[in-house]
Amino acid sequence: MRYLFYLIGFLLLIIPASTLAQVGEFLGDEKNFYAATKQVNQFLRRFNGEEDVRGKRYPKDDPNYRHGEIRRKYINILFDNNQKAISPETKKSFMSEVIDSQDPLFLNFHGGSWFAQVSTKFKYKDRDETLQLFLRLQEEKVGSKWVIYKAHFEPFEQYFKVDTADDDRFIHPMSHELDFMNLRKIFEDPDIVAAYSNEEFMPDYLSLVLYEIKKGALKFVGVDQVRFHFFQLENWYFELTEFNRSGPNTGWLISNLLPVNTEQKELLMRFIYYGND
C-alpha cells in the first residue's frame, strides 16, 4: 500500500494539472489520500499552514507560508466531523482567534504545554489491565526525547482510598512525648494507614509502576490507544486522536475542543491525570 501511495504521488507530479479533476483542495480520486492527516507532525504543519496539499513544505519566504486562507481550509479538515461534541459556535470562535486575530495562534512542536496519553495493556496478577502513561517532550542539549512523567493504574487505587467518615482518626499532637508509640496501633491495620498521611498527599503511581515492573509483577502487553492533549494555545484546549476509517476525514484529528482560562486549564489537566497533580 505504501508503494501505491508513492506511485500516486509520482504520477501527480508528472501529469499536467489541467488533466486532473479538482475536488476542493484535493486532486481527483486521490483526494482521500491527500486529505488524511497521517502523522502528528503533519497535523502541526497543516494547522500552521506550512505545507501544500501534497505535503510539500512551503519555504518561509513563500507568500503561502502560514497564509490565513490556506490555514482556514486546512484547519477545517482537521476536526473529527463524525461527532457533534464540538459545537459550530465553539469551532467558529476557535478559528477566529487562531486565524483572524491580530496575533494568530500557531503550534510549536518544542513549545511545551502538550503531552501524550498512552493507553497500554499490562499483565498483572494473571489479568490484562489497562495502564495509562503520560509522556512529554524533554529538551536535551542536542534535540529532544519523549519521557514518561506520570502514570495511572486503577488496581493501585484501592491502596490509597481514605474513609473520611471517621473524623476521630488522627495522631495525637502530644505523641512526640511518648516517642510516637501509638504508631504501632496505626500500622496494625494496613487499610487505614493512608488516612494518617497529610492532606496534600497524592500517590506517585509512576514509582509504583516502575517498582512492580522491576519485580516482574507487571508485564507489558501492548499499546491500545494514543491521544494528545494540547494546552499550548492561550484560552483553548483540544484533544488530538487518530481515526482509521475510509473517506477524507481520517488520520489525526481534533476530537475535543474547549475554551478554557488558566484556572480551568488546571482543573481540566487534573481531571485528565485522574485527579493526580
At residue 87, what are phi and psi to the nearest 5 degrees? -75, 155
Q: Which three cell numbers stand for residue 8?
A: 500516486
Q: Is residue 72 part of a domain?
A: yes
Statement: residue 6 has pLDDT above 50: no
Taking the complete model, does pTM exceed 0.85, yes or no?
Answer: no
Residue 173 lies in a domain: no
pLDDT digits (tens, 9 = 90+) for 182-231: 888 888 888 778 888 887 788 899 999 999 999 999 999 999 999 999 99
Assess whether 118 and 221 both reside in one domain: yes
Q: Are 237 and 230 in contact (CB under 8 A)?
A: yes
Cα separation, 19 vs 137, whole angstroms = 45
> Using a CB cutoff of 8 Å and minimum separation of 24, what contacts does 261-267 make?
261/235, 265/231, 265/237
Longest dimension (CA), the chain: 92
Same structural domain, 73 and 93: yes
One domain, residues 186 and 254: no
- Per residue in 93-149, pLDDT (tens digit) is 999 999 988 899 999 999 999 999 999 999 998 999 999 999 999 998 888 999 999
Residue 156 lies in a domain: yes
Number of domains the chain contains: 2
**All 3 cell numbers of residue 68?**
490565513
* Residue 103 and residue 152 in one domain: no
Q: What is the DSSP letter of 179?
A: T
DSSP notation for 241-259 = EEE--SSSS-EEEEEEEEE
- Structural domain containing residue 38: 30-110+235-264
Same domain, 118 and 220: yes
**pLDDT for the residue numbered 236:** 97
The values of phi and psi at residue 219, to 5°, are: -125, 125
Residue pair 256/239 in contact (Cβ under 8 Å)? The answer is yes
